[in-house]
């Protein structure tokens, strides 16, 4: 699991109280980053299929609504840009039949879960496409802020390695 995925998993568990399953392998070259379920949702199942696409690379940090092409995804110089498009997430990360088959195995069916993209910023066009597709966008920077708020004044010794590391960092650089 990538570091950003671990942080998102920690956020889901410790800030939002969700049960999570990470890095679920699917047939082919597909994987689900994170599934999360709210155990306290009474009468309504709160389930999330979360895909993380965090990049801080200058030209490829924001999620965009630029055109997606599976062929361009295979071209080395085009890969990074293609992975930052809404089409990439809609078609490959959420819509692939291999992903859908695995989601069904876990009881995730159309209408009973929320699709989420975690990213380092997004443009207005990407937000509009996400809204039309019923996808929530979570900004990774806001996730870090929420974890910082949780840990900055807490004296609890967290055993979660990711949360503990962020807590120790916050002791050096307190959240203001």
Give the model confidence (pLDDT) of 125-152 as tens digits.
999 999 999 999 999 989 988 888 777 6
**Residue 101 in this model has a pLDDT that exceeds 70:** yes
What's residue 165's pLDDT? 78
Task: Tell the CATH topology of 3-168.
Answer: Trna Endonuclease; Chain: A, domain 1 (3.40.1350)
The predicted model gives 92-119 an average pLDDT of 95
pLDDT band at 57 (very low <50, low <70, confident <90, very high): low
CB atoms within 10 A of CB 83: 17
Predicted structure pTM score = 0.88
Report which of residues 172 and 120 the model is more confident about: 120
Winning range, highest mean pLDDT, from 42-46, 71-75, 144-148, 155-159: 144-148
Domain residue extents for the chain = 3-168
């Amino acid at each position: 699991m990538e570091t950003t995925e671990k942080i998102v998993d920690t956020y889901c568990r410790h800030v939002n109280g969700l049960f999570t399953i990470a890095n679920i392998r699917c047939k082919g070259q597909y994987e689900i980053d994170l599934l999360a379920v709210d155990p306290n949702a009474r009468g309504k199942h709160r389930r999330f299929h979360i895909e993380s696409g965090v990049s801080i690379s200058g030209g490829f940090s924001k999620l965009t609504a630029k055109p997606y092409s599976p062929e361009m995804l295979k071209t080395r110089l085009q890969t990074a840009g293609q992975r930052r498009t809404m089409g990439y997430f809609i078609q490959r990360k959420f819509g692939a039949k291999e992903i859908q088959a695995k989601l069904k195995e876990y009881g995730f069916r159309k209408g009973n879960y929320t699709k989420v993209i975690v990213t380092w910023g997004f443009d207005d066009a990407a937000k509009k496409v996400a809204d039309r597709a019923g996808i929530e966008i979570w900004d990774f920077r806001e996730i870090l802020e929420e974890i910082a708020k949780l840990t900055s004044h807490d004296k609890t010794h967290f055993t979660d390695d990711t949360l503990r590391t962020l807590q120790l960092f916050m002791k050096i650089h307190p959240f203001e």
